[in-house]
Amino acid sequence: MAVVPRSKANTAHVNMMTDTIIANLPADALRSVIRVILTTEPSVTSIFEEQTRIYLRKTANQPIGQLFQSTAEGVASTSNFTWAQQRLRSTIGCGLALDSFPILNKIVEESFSLNDGHTVHRSPEFDRCLASVDGDIVQALTAIQKRLLSDGGSRDLNEDEKLVMNSLFDSLLRCRQTWLPLAQDFPFERSTAVLVTMLGRESGIPIMADQNGSRQGQMTGRKTSTSLETFTIKDMELPKLFAGLWQLSSPSWGTASQTQMFKQFVEYIAGGFTAFDMADHYGDAEVIFGRLRSSLSDPEAIFGATKYCVFHKITVTPAVIRANVTERCQRMSADKVDLLQFHWQDYNDHQYIEALRLLQQDERVRSLGLCNFDTARLQEVVDNDINVVTNQVQFSLIDARPRFMMGDVCAQRNVKLLTYGTLCGGFLAEKWLGKPEPQLFGPDSTPSQRKYFEMIQTWGDWDLFQVLLQTLKAIATKHNVSISNVATRWVLDFPFVGAVIIGARMGVSEHTEENLKTYGWKLDEEDQKSIEEVLEKSRREEVFKVMGDCGSEYR
């Protein structure tokens, strides 16, 4: 007779009416409700993730079935592919990144097993699927890199990790050998490059940037903005618009091949976007940026800002800090980091001062900045004679927290803000004028939209947001620009702001020309008054009081 292990039973009754809601609420609505629960009660997150792991492990042996099939339009994915990708993404998201590798391996193997020695017609839909899987692999590898972090810095891969990663790498090599002789682009260029670095398997695989040689000659198709605005940190003159690469951290923002990404990088640079922002956990952003920049005839003309983010407990030592800077340089294919922005999760652990001091002493760090530090800790840092030149924080018409305390300290200590979220995930645009509230889990929704829709609800409501968009549209028409330009200009006009970081969905969507129209004009007194009349009706002060100072939402 089986013996049930004794443990503390901690299960509450779910009443019939609540059970009825769960059984009948549409899937998208149920997802929205779960997201609200997690944002209002963060302690539930660990339970949600653990129950997800239990479910995935219980159902791990379910057969997947055929992923791709030939059609009149070319090879296309089946419903099995959609199911498999949803499963592997859930696996990565709940902390079981290694468990996603059998599915990833199957997708890669089947993608080229269709080829029997003849050219396979790859439909656009098939190419999009493979590009999205390339992004999934990068995200899985990023999750594994996080697993390697320890109290003393970073450990080596163990044998189990090496086994599954080498198996996938071998599949990628076979896939590459199949596609390239047929003059068809290798769809997994990004993930292969990351695996080469992680496994140390320098197998002579030419990287796309190297194959195409110098790209400087390609930068002639677009005229750089003649009204480019700049600011200065130390001896560097930088544009007041940065291109942000956080969207490379996940395929949730859309995916493209590495060839498409490089092409758009070149177009950004030609248009005047010569400064890029990334981080150690933004997928392969550092790697792609480094390989592109090193392929240019004048790499020094391109500025790269990245981050060193400490989300876990560590013991700060010179060796740990130097190892992270070494990793940043290696991934960015550079001897130095132009701007290294430091994020520290736990303010109760005061080692952040020593970590910053060691970073300041590292000759490979040209300039040192902060990321999501609040005003009190920013003041503490500069009072300890640490020369930070920037602090990256959220700042927009919807989240104006830097106006309350941060701006004054920045002005006094000559620290410039690099701001993100300035366009609220794309909501501050003509696209949303006169439109109903978004479907947060619709086919075109992104993690940014879900995040910033919650910010809009905290700030006011959708009706007030529509009033704001109408006001911005009137100002935009007056200046012959867009709503996004007005929203960006409003932030840039604060003297303590150095630059606004505009998200770049490389190879997916492109708004370079529109973004450049932010330059060369100012909001006049009438414009400012019109905007302020709307903002006065919002809960902006409550946002500061409830959410806390800059960066508090991440702690």
The full set of domain ranges for the chain reads 31-199, 230-424+484-521
pTM of this structure: 0.82
Contact 280, 309 (CB under 8 A): yes
Picking from 90, 114, 120, 116, the residue whose alpha carbon sits closest to that of residue 103 is 90
Could you give the C-alpha distances from 28 to 45, 93, 438, in angstroms and in order?
Answer: 19, 18, 11
φ/ψ bin of 95: left (φ > 0), alpha (ψ from -120 to 50), beta (otherwise): left
For 342-382, the pLDDT digits (tens) are 999 999 999 999 999 999 999 999 999 999 999 999 999 99
Amino acid at 245: L
Q: What is residue 484's predicted lDDT score, i.e. its pLDDT?
A: 96
Q: Are strands 153-154 and 149-150 parallel, antiparallel or unpaired?
A: antiparallel
Phi, psi of 404 (to 5 degrees): -80, -45
SS3 content of the chain, % helix, strand, coil (to 5): 50, 10, 35
pLDDT at 183: 61
Residues 531-544 as b or e (16 or more Cβ within 10 Å = b): beebbeebebeebb
Q: Residues in the chain with pLDDT < 70?
A: 1-11, 115-120, 182-184, 202-226, 249-258, 443, 504-511
Torsion angles phi and psi, residue 300, rounded to 5: -65, -15
What would you report as the CA-atom Rg of the chain, rounded to the nearest whole angstrom? Answer: 24
Q: CB of 196 within 8 A of CB of 202?
A: yes
The predicted pLDDT at position 216 comes to: 44
CA distance linking residue 522 with residue 272, whole number of Å = 19
95 sits in which H/E element? none
- What was the pLDDT predicted at 543? 85
pLDDT number for residue 118: 55
The amino acid at residue 371 is: C
CATH superfamily entry for domain 230-424+484-521: NADP-dependent oxidoreductase domain (3.20.20.100)
Locate 203 and state its tokens. Answer: 């197998």
pLDDT at 221: 37
Length of the chain: 555
Alpha-carbon distance of 85 to 83, in angstroms, equals: 6
Q: Greatest CA span in the chain, whole angstroms? A: 82
